[in-house]
Structure 1
Amino acid sequence: MKALNCFYLLSLLTLSLYATAMGGTGVFLDKGGWQPIRDVKDPFIQTLGWISVTQHNKRTGPPLSFVEVFKADIRKDKGTYYRVDLTAKDRLVSKKYQAIILELEEGLDLMSFTPLGR
């Protein structure tokens, strides 16, 4: 009986830690609150795109080559999030992707990197 109670307690603790960890990811960021960034040619915004592709390449392969950011949004929600739509080359073919980046005191963290529909 004690072992069963410990199992339930451990399961509840694990689920609560998982829910807390998921609270800061892009999962909850698609329901509004994004503000458009008008100057997507700004060097900082273009750097966000380059960093997104670089971090994506470290996590997966084959490598992509950054081309440009063509749309960007910002959201302040328990941190500063950037959503950038970008073009990157997969060998010779240009494809469009969306990245969500969280700005932290120690740097930038790529939260998601997904292909955009055609």
Structure 2
Amino acid sequence: MARNSLSLLFVFLAILLASALNEASPVWQRKTIHGPGWRPINNPKDPQVVEIAKFAVTEHNKEASTALAFEAVVKGETQVITGTYWLVIAAKDGSATGSKQYQAVVWDEQSLKFRKLVSFIEISN
């Protein structure tokens, strides 16, 4: 059991490191992620994708003391082997008119019933 926990820790640290590197690099500024294992999400209205996106907005609201309201998943990609989702989410801020778009990275490990918001940033449309 300790070996599984250690493996999980290494995967988590690898995702955090990749996320930090991606945020600092010009690649992160593009509208899509390119790399091994990433595949586009063909149906952004898929209930599982929507659930993960709503989780991202809820967690961001808790962490940043904001009141964003989820509207839709615009697009996304997933890396199935790591359970990582990269999503562009439309959300409305109660104090602003219209919606804004946000880039969210969520680590979702269904077999362990574990979900973590890795990053959540506003992007310009």
State the TM-score, normalized to the length of structure 1: 0.73
Residues 22 and 113 (structure 1 numbering): CA distance in 2 closer, same or farther, change over 3 Å? same
Partner residue of 1:87?
Answer: 90
- Work out the percentage of aligned pairs sharing the same amino acid: 29
Residues 41 and 51 (structure 1 numbering): CA distance in 2 closer, same or farther, change over 3 Å? same
Partner residue of 2:105?
Answer: 100
Pair 1:116 & 2:108 matched: no
Partner residue of 1:24?
Answer: 15
Alpha-carbon distance between aligned partners in 1 of 2:53 and 2:116, rounded to the nearest angstrom: 12
Indicate the structure (1 or 2) with the bigger Cα radius of gyration: 1
Gaps of 5+ in 2: 1-10, 23-32
Please identify runs of 4+ aligned residues in structure 1 that moved more than 3 A.
Answer: 28-31
Alpha-carbon distance between aligned partners in 1 of 2:57 and 2:44, rounded to the nearest angstrom: 16
Alpha-carbon distance between aligned partners in 1 of 2:53 and 2:119, rounded to the nearest angstrom: 12
What does 1:1-118 correspond to in 2, within 5 Å?
A: 22-25=13-16, 26-28=19-21, 32-33=35-36, 34-76=38-80, 79-91=82-94, 92-104=97-109, 105-118=112-125
Alpha-carbon distance between aligned partners in 2 of 1:61 and 1:48, rounded to the nearest angstrom: 19
Alpha-carbon distance between aligned partners in 1 of 2:62 and 2:50, rounded to the nearest angstrom: 19
Partner residue of 2:8?
Answer: none
Deviations 1:44-88 (A, max 9, x none): 1111111100000010122100001010111145x2100111100
How many residues align? The count is: 99
Question: What do you get for the CA RMSD once the two structures are aligned?
Answer: 2.3
State the TM-score, normalized to the length of structure 2: 0.69
Secondary structure, counterpart of 1:109 in structure 2: strand
